[in-house]
Structure 1
Amino acid sequence: MKLGVSVVTILAAVLALTVPALAGPQLTFDKAVYDFRTVAQGKTVVHSFTFRNTGDATGTITRVSSSCGCTVADVSNKVIQPGKTGTIKTTFDSSDFHGPVTKEVFVYLGDQQKPAYILTMKGLVVEEFVITPRQINLGSVKAGVRKDVTLAMENKGEKTIKINSIKTELPQVAISIRKKVLKPGEKTSFKVSVTPRGDNRFVNGYLTISTNSQGKSEKIIPIFGVLAK
């Protein structure tokens, strides 16, 4: 009985050595994760992931997608023969982000329903020009009664920032600002006064703040509130 088991074990080992592995493409990336460290908000990060087909069959990249519309990926060549190389160029737009970010790119081979490979771009998006709060929530307001909100601005960059304009499409909003030039590290504030009108139940609009920042030159601050009955 023991002899029979030993013979079976030996035969299985021999077959494992002599039977070739299933043929197929295999993409090997130099690096699957790219850390861009820090980037100023509004700047674009571009990186190319390099790969080689280390398998024994031709591979076809049928689709490349990303985790959000802020990241675009382009493939240098979609059909990769064994031993050949290629690149996937990824572009990340940091305009709408701040703080730590992680974005993924999904690579599909053949008719696979799930991504065969996941590539990652990560890093820290630094705001040069910070406005707080990031939105103006008026809450419940009364028609004809003015409500004032103060917003703080800070230059966290390394260059002087000039505020070119602060605009809104809302006629019931008035803006008061004194200091329009901020040196690195400087802070200031401005006042937004809202006097709701009785012809609309909701106050809904935006402030558009334009600057000379080399990163994100324009900031959008939502304004919203509800007219009390």
Structure 2
Amino acid sequence: MRTAVSYVLVAAAGLIAWSCGQTGAKNELNSRPKITERRTQTFDFGTARQGVTIEHTFQLTNPGTAPVKVGRVQTTCGCTAAKVEKNTVIEPGKSLELPVKLNLRGKKGAIESKVIVNYADGATPDELVLKGAAAEEYTPSVDFTPFKRGEQPEQIVTLATYPGQQPLAVSHIKFDTQKFDITSRPGAKDGTVDVVIKPRPDAPFGSVADQIVVTTNDADAPDKFILVRAHVTKPLEAVVRQVVLRPGADGEPVSTIVEFKSTYGDPVSEVTASITREKRFTATIEPDAPDGTVRVRVAFRPGDKAKKSKIPAQLRVRASVGGVEVEEHVGVLYTTEPDTPAAKQQVEAGDADAHETDRF
């Protein structure tokens, strides 16, 4: 009987030892000392050409006595790319190469971008920094002041031959032909090329934009990127883009007049107005002003006490202007908060949640 008990005790001891061994194996990454200090590596690339891609390989070293598993890799700019296979383990005393790319497309002046390497086992993240400057060789963006449809204001971007390169020549220009007319011609100075940008006379009404790609014979940076933005005046445009309503001192309903003008002087007819969140707002067409300006009164309905201090909506006005059907939008915000820059920013951000179901 005593011998049988001894066998049972030995077996139990063996089972416990095996179980502990398995638990230790599973927790190996978490039971040993980890990286506890944030380490920062910086690569200064100096001054680089506009539009080129900077490439650098960082070394991630594990100075501890336990393996570390690489988790999520984050970047502070969409122009930066860093990729490493998920769950990659760096053994103690070993290093991992992490290639990083920084695209200087559209950049100019001082630049700093960071890559944050997180570790799955709770070790302190590493910070990788790329810094330097992009030399502005040409204007990377063009903005037209508002103009009427049919007009063709002109903007010129001059591209110059970079030192050490052959005389610059343009082989192709990629752009939206429904919005702009773009050509190239020799510049006033030797070795330069002028890119001439004009909106099409029949460009669509409202805000238009395009990313132009000018392909050249530049060996280091053949593609030149130019962002073009313009606004073609609509036949009917709101005088203001956003309005803010606040409760009066007596708690009475508050309202304001929103005006819309016929920018081309054409007659306006068949005007309709609507507004989102009809439980809280009303939109009523008022008599036109003497100069033909369309006037719409926007009012807030107090109703039961609202649960939110900010209630956004969107006013839509449709009309026939000179026989052309047009639609114009204005952001509306009712707020009980004081008139502050933060409140104005809420309106400028648009009516992102204006279509949510009222929750009162």
Match of 1:202 in 2: 206
**How far does residue 157 in structure 1 lie from its aligned partner after superposition?**
1.6
Please list the CA deviations of residues 136-170 of structure 1 after superposition, one character each: whole Å capped at 9, or x if unmatched.
3231x2333x2322314141621221123446434
Match of 1:147 among 135, 147, 152: 152
Question: For 2:171, which of 151, 164, 167 is the aligned residue?
Answer: 164
- 3-state SS in 2 of match to 1:42: coil
Q: Residue in 2 aligned with 1:72? A: 81
User: Which structure exhibits the higher relative contact order, with contacts defined as CA atoms closer than 8 Å and separated by 6 or more residues?
Assistant: 1
One-letter code of the match for 1:105?
V
Q: Secondary structure at the match of 1:97?
A: coil
Task: List aligned pairs for 1:4-43, cutoff 5 A.
Answer: 23-26=32-35, 32-43=41-52
Question: Structure 1 pair 84/208, CA: closer, same or farther in 2 (3 Å)?
Answer: closer
Residue type matched to 2:97 in 1? T
Partners of 2:213 and 2:226 within 8 A in 1: yes
Match of 1:58 among 46, 67, 91: 67
Unaligned runs of 5+ in 2: 1-30, 235-262, 264-360
Query: Is contact 2:46–2:132 with CA below 8 Å preserved after alignment?
Result: yes
Specify every segment of 5 or more residues in structure 1 that has no aligned partner in the other structure, as ranges: 1-21
Question: What is the CA RMSD across the aligned residues, in angstroms?
Answer: 3.5
Give the direction of change, closer, same or farther, for the CA distance of 1:84–1:192 in structure 2 (3 Å limit).
Answer: closer
Distance between the aligned counterparts of 1:28 and 1:183, measured in 2? 56
In the alignment, the residues of structure 2 paired with residue 176 and residue 73 of structure 1 have an alpha-carbon distance, to the nearest angstrom, of: 37
**Counterpart residue number, 1:9:** none
Q: Conserved in 1, the CA contact under 8 Å of 2:51 and 2:224? A: no
Deviates more, 1:219-228 or 1:118-127: 219-228
> Structure 1-normalised TM-score?
0.69
Q: State the match for 2:227 in structure 1.
A: 221
2:169, 2:188 → 1: CA distance?
4
For 2:78, give the aligned amino acid. Answer: G
**AA at the equivalent of 1:151:** I
Equivalents in 2 of 1:108, 1:135: separation in Å? 39
Q: 1:161-208: per-residue Cα shift (whole Å, max 9, x none)? A: 112344643457545654169755x5x6455444644x9432624354
Q: TM-score, normalised by structure 2?
A: 0.47
Percent of residue pairs bearing the same amino acid type: 22
Counterpart of 2:284 in structure 1 is none
Q: 1:23-71, CA deviations, whole angstroms, 9 ceiling, x for partnerless residues?
A: 4222899971111112222322222222332222221111212112322
Which protein shows a greater Rg? 2
Q: Structure 1 residues 79 and 192 mapped into 2: Cα distance closer, same or farther (>3 Å)? A: closer
Please state if 1:138 is matched with 2:148.
Answer: no
Kept in 1, the 8 Å contact 2:38–2:126? The answer is no
The match for 1:179 is: 186
Q: Report if aligned partners of 2:68, 2:120 keep a CA contact under 8 Å in 1.
A: yes
1:99 and 2:112 equivalent?
no
State the match for 1:110 in structure 2.
Answer: 120
Whether 2:124 is the aligned partner of 1:124: answer no
